[in-house]
Structure 1
Amino acid sequence: MSYVLQGGLVVTFNKDNKPVAFKADVLVDGNTIVKVAEDIQATAGIKVIDCKDKWITPGMVDTHRHVWMTVLGGSHGDMLLSEYAVKNSWHVQAHMTAAEIKISQLAGCLEALHKGVTTVLDHFHAAYSPEMADVALDVTIKSGARVIFCPSRASAPSKILPDFEWGREPDMAKWQWQKLKEWAARDGGKLSKDGRVTLGLGYDLVAPWNIPESQEALKEARSWPAAIITAHVCQGPQIKTWKDAGILGPDVVFSHCNVLSHRTAPDDELWAALKEHNCGIASTPLDELGCAIGNPVALDAVSRGVKAGLGADTTSFNSGDLFVQMKMMLQWQRGTEFDKVLTGGLQEPSHNKWRAADAFRLATLGGAEALNMSHLIGTVEEGKRADLLIFDTGSPNLAACADPFLGFVFHASEADIEIVMVDGEIMKEGKNFTRFEWASIAKELKEAAAGIQKKWPKEKLEEIWVEYYAKKGPPHF
């Protein structure tokens, strides 16, 4: 369909990379924003959406999320990363069924849309059978979200005590790589006909002892081409390993990168390598701070000219929205820098260095840049895809907010979003999804969650963790 979003306040960035808010109409034809101007007249066949007293913003871009983990929501918020790895990654996750993955992946995509996230880099690390992989991709396409689907080339351990064993790895490696090749053959990795879902690769396997194998694997993935290659980095040496192996590139997105918060030298080699190779960083401040893997570095990256965006990571730890990630990142950075003023006896500055618009950018245009998609999404701009949000500024949250950037970052929530549009299609209007009836999905999701909790009660998982910790100590990441 075609739409005119009429009479709203467009909140975006201009071609000079400055935050701007201005009254305008937005004409959407098919999947594209074709005009942003005042007084656009709707001709026959164009639907008018009244946006008076509304904000029209870009859809948010999540650069690191494990979408399938929605079924485990509320399970991990008090855990350290090491505890989570033993209890979830090496036990619960390793025994999930295809049916559980299917409903959880669909619900996770819809949750993202519900919260105004229109694009997701999905690091899908639960492809433990061909059926699990296929159902996850199928419902991702059906959800209507824009997703870079990055299946992880990895397996779960078959045993963790007294020592790790990876008995399933040879079979996993064979069929997973074959599945990736099969998907890559779909129109060069365009996994959905409308192009919303594209193929990437999750690859956490690079280590000093397997460099030739990793070099060959990533060379092949780039030939498909994989849209993005993503990997976790917490406090480990992965960035240097990738650098020394010569496999960094503009298609690489490292999630977290908390190890960089300790590296403050202006010419630090790892920061310099990320900038030189135009790599991206996906920062997830809420769970990074909460599960003690280190301090978030998104705004440090911005100050160094390194591409950076935000992510929710997993809704088993925290809410799946980016509103809270924006607030957490901005206020943590402000607090940390001001602490240096206080403890260093320096003069207090006249203004905050980092502004709400900087956080807004991380969640929109910055994320698009990190995913190499800023030519398509991230701003309300003629020629870009119509991934848009319409906010009700008469809501209890926003009625008094004169500055839309302050309002978006500090006051708004998903409750204020009236319309979520992806590729010119309205995916959610008011409280209702347009492709799905949420009540039936919620019922199935609850049943799946209850089944998992029955199979893996907290007491059983705690016993496993206590035994592991007593014999091995915490895993290191």
Structure 2
Amino acid sequence: MNLDQLIGRPIVFRGATVLTMDDAGVIEGGDVLVTGDTIAEIGRDLAVPDGTAEIDASGGILMPGMVDTHRHMWQTALRGLGADWTLTQYFVFYYLNWGKIFRPEDIHAGNTLSAIEAVDAGVTTTVDWSHGLRTVEHGEAAADALRSAPGRFVLAYGNLLGAPWEWTNSPEFRGFVERFGTPDDMLGLQLAFDVTGDPKFPERAAFEAARDLGLRVTTHAGVWGATNDESIRLMWEGGFMTPGTTYVHAATLSEDSYQRIAASGGSVSVSTESEQSAGQGYPPSWELRRHGIPVSLSMDTSVWWSADLFSAMRATLSADRSREHLEAHARGDTVVHNRLRAEEVVRWATIGGARALGLESLIGSVTPGKKADLVLIKNDDAPALYPLLHPYGSVVYQAGRGDVHTVLVNGRVVKHEHRLVDLADVDLAGAKAAVGRTVEYARSTMGEEAWQDSITPELPAAERIPNPYTYTDFDGGEGRHRAQET
């Protein structure tokens, strides 16, 4: 259907396999009617108002828009630069060397491209864990980018180069909060800072600021070599562990810390690809399940990874099952039933994220009365989505961002027939141009040697184990190897 026919009219998706993520479960051959910004009705063969635009969703999966609860959107401006970094190299690059060079316009450029990338992949809500805001001008640039971009966002305001107990209580930041206005469901506001475990607990003042301002806190917890059980203990004893707190990673915590998170009602944002590759710790979904801690999913940063929650779901399910198999094998046992199912990780990527943000009454499921944040996964030209036998399994293991056919945010079409719509706030060419300017600036400021060192960090010598079966000579005449004489 032509995009012009979808604008300003009710929309009905016809004949989809609907993953409601609520008590209705899966509806095969289902219709979903959207009027304005709201899901109006779900059923089969719905009668719709005159003038309703129809989208043929047969053979496709209609699900809630996905929710990414932890993404450093500003770092998208240097997409892929750290593909071979460890977490230590990430810290050195941003915290010690180059985080200070980013200008407000660079924050704006990274956020804008990241926002467009997200909706293209079916991620309709993103928490911008924006810890590059070293001045309020940087914060204004981040907020302006999110206000003008397609999608639903939460600005988690942070400053990796500042002390959170200072900047959260500065007149400049308090002025920013006043200018920001009342957060709403299209653009929320949180505080983003970490607790180092210093026994003096200087972060207390930042938590008190969050309490005074009525803002949630999101914090990197259980990160190997950075934040640990002492951080959790200090938060607990200070009375700052609340149901609205999000603990990012939480990969290297003790039993006691997981129990405290569970008892306080907080949630954990699991970034499996990041934890596996960068080194925060083994992805903790297996521990979170055992303790009944609510889970959401996130992609962390495009300096490594993309905004693809399909990848996050796949990696999380695989990592969880791998852990179960390894532990069983260490006991001499065999896993014969998988505890974590595909449906659950789809839930974590949708309603789980909504709950972590306190938005579960508005988004996260295909439920009448909720906001119309919807994703149609359909690709008639791809063999991988047929047959559709296990829809949750197809989402996790078969689908990808290229299969995202249509995306609605707040009832508005932002992608259709696999293409981003051509509207004022979906200016992909303009976003790329702005990021191009950031890349040129960063490269020239860093210098070519530092730039190349960042792309190709030093590779330590590999330790090789001597192999007694190695063949060292080859007799071409006889056509066989001769073993080395010992």
Question: Which residue of 2 is the match for residue 431 of structure 1?
Answer: 419
Query: Quick check: 1:72 aligned with 2:78?
Result: yes
Give the secondary structure class of the aligned counterpart of 1:259.
Answer: coil
The amino acid of 1:10's aligned partner reads: V
Tell whether the 8 Å contact from 2:136 to 2:173 is kept in structure 1 after alignment: no
Tell me the CA shift for residue 344 of structure 1: 1.1
2:66 matched to which residue of 1? Answer: 60
Cα pair distance change 1:322/1:457, threshold 3 Å? farther
Q: Which has the larger radius of gyration?
A: 2
Q: 2:239 aligns with which of 246, 271, 294?
A: 246
Which residue in the other structure is 1:357 paired with?
343
Alpha-carbon offset, residue 438 of structure 1: 1.5
1:305 aligned residue (289, 292, 295):
292
Deviations 1:308-344 (A, max 9, x none): 1110000001122111111111111111111122221
Structure 1: stretches of 5+ with no match in the other structure: 157-165, 466-477
Q: How has the CA–CA distance of structure 1 residues 83 and 9 changed in structure 2, closer, same or farther, with 3 Å as cutoff?
A: same
Q: Which residue of 2 aligns with 1:139?
A: 145
- SS at 1:382's partner residue? coil
Contact preservation (8 Å) 1:87, 1:461: no
What displacement does 1:172 show?
A: 8.7
Aligned residue among 42, 45, 48 for 1:39: 45
Matched ranges for 1:403-442 at <5 A: 403-429=390-416, 430-435=418-423, 436-442=426-432
> Over residues 339-392 of structure 1, what are the superposed CA-to-partner deviations in whole Å (9 max), with x where a residue is unaligned?
12222112x243322221122122112222222222221111112111110111
State the alpha-carbon separation in 2 of the partners of residues 32 and 314 from structure 1: 31
Q: CA deviation at 1:425?
A: 0.9
Stretch moving more, 288-297 or 367-376? 367-376
Residue 170 of structure 2 aligns with which residue?
174
Cross-structure match for 1:94: 100
Distance 1:149 1:256 in 2: 19
Counting only pairs closer than 5 Å after superposition, residues 309-328 of structure 1 correspond to structure 2 as: 309-328=296-315
User: What is the CA distance between 1:402 and its match in structure 2?
Assistant: 2.3
Alignment of 1:232 onto 2:220:
yes
* Residue identity in the other structure for 1:382: P
1:392–1:417 contact (8 Å) kept in structure 2: yes
- Within the candidate set 9, 12, 22, 2:20 is matched to 12
Cα shift at 1:34: 1.8
Aligned to 1:280: 267
Please give the per-residue CA displacement for 1:171-228, whole angstroms capped at 9, x wherever unaligned: 89625532443246x13x33xxxx40011111225644554x64444234234322x3
Asked if the contact 1:206/1:241 (under 8 Å) is kept, the reply is no
User: Hey, what's the Cα distance between the residues in 2 that align with 1:409 and 1:175?
Assistant: 46
Asked if the contact 1:386–1:421 (Cα under 8 Å) also holds between the matched residues in 2, the reply is yes
Q: Specify the SS of the correspondent of 1:112.
A: helix
1:455 partner letter: T
Matched residue type, 2:173? W
CA apart distance, 1:423: 0.9
1:128–1:172 Cα contact (<8 Å) kept: no
User: Which residue does 1:380 correspond to in 2?
Assistant: 366
Task: State the shift of 1:288 in Å.
Answer: 1.2
Give the 3-state SS of the residue equivalent to 1:62 in structure 2. strand
Aligned to 1:312, the other structure's residue is in SS state: coil
The yes-or-no answer on 1:391 pairing with 2:377 is yes
Tell me by how many angstroms 1:129 deviates: 2.2
Contact 2:297–2:349 (Cα < 8 Å) also in 1: yes
Work out the number of aligned pairs and report it: 439
C-alpha contact (below 8 Å) 1:283/1:296 kept by paired residues? yes
- The equivalent of 2:109 in structure 1 is 103
Is this contact kept in 2: 1:201–1:221, CA < 8 A?
yes
Which residue of 114, 117, 122 corresponds with 2:123? 117
CA deviation vs aligned residue, 1:369-419 (integer Å, no higher than 9, x gap): 222222221111112111110111424131334221111101111111111
Q: Is it true that 1:450 corresponds to 2:440 in the alignment?
A: yes
Q: Which residue of structure 2 lines up, in the alignment, with residue 470 of structure 1?
A: none
Q: 2:295 and 2:263 mapped to 1: Cα distance? A: 14
The residue type equivalent to 2:385 in the other structure is L
| TM-score where L is the length of structure 2 | 0.84
The answer on whether the counterparts of 2:285 and 2:320 sit within 8 Å (CA) in structure 1 is no
Q: Distance in 2 between matches of 1:349 and 1:458?
A: 51
Q: CA deviation digits over 1:21-70, x for unaligned, max 9?
A: 43221111221112111122221343222222221111111011011111
User: Is the Cα–Cα contact under 8 Å of residues 249 and 279 in structure 1 kept in the other structure?
Assistant: yes
Corresponding letter in the other structure for 2:421: F
Please give the alpha-carbon distance, in whole angstroms, between the structure 2 residues aligned to 1:294 and 1:103: 31
Equivalent pair of 2:165/2:205 in contact (CA under 8 Å): no
Equivalent pair of 2:324/2:335 in contact (CA under 8 Å): no
Equivalent in the alignment of 1:163:
none
Q: CA deviation at 1:73?
A: 0.6
Q: Secondary structure at the match of 2:115?
A: helix
Distance change (3 Å), C-alpha of 1:37 and 1:106: same
Amino acid at match of 1:248: M
SS in 2 for 1:303: helix
Q: Give the Cα separation in 1 of the matches to 2:78 and 2:213.
A: 33
Q: How far apart are 1:282 and its partner, in Å?
A: 0.6
Task: Compute the displacement of 1:123 (Å).
Answer: 1.0
**Aligned with 2:433: secondary structure?**
helix
Aligned partner of 1:381: which letter? Answer: T
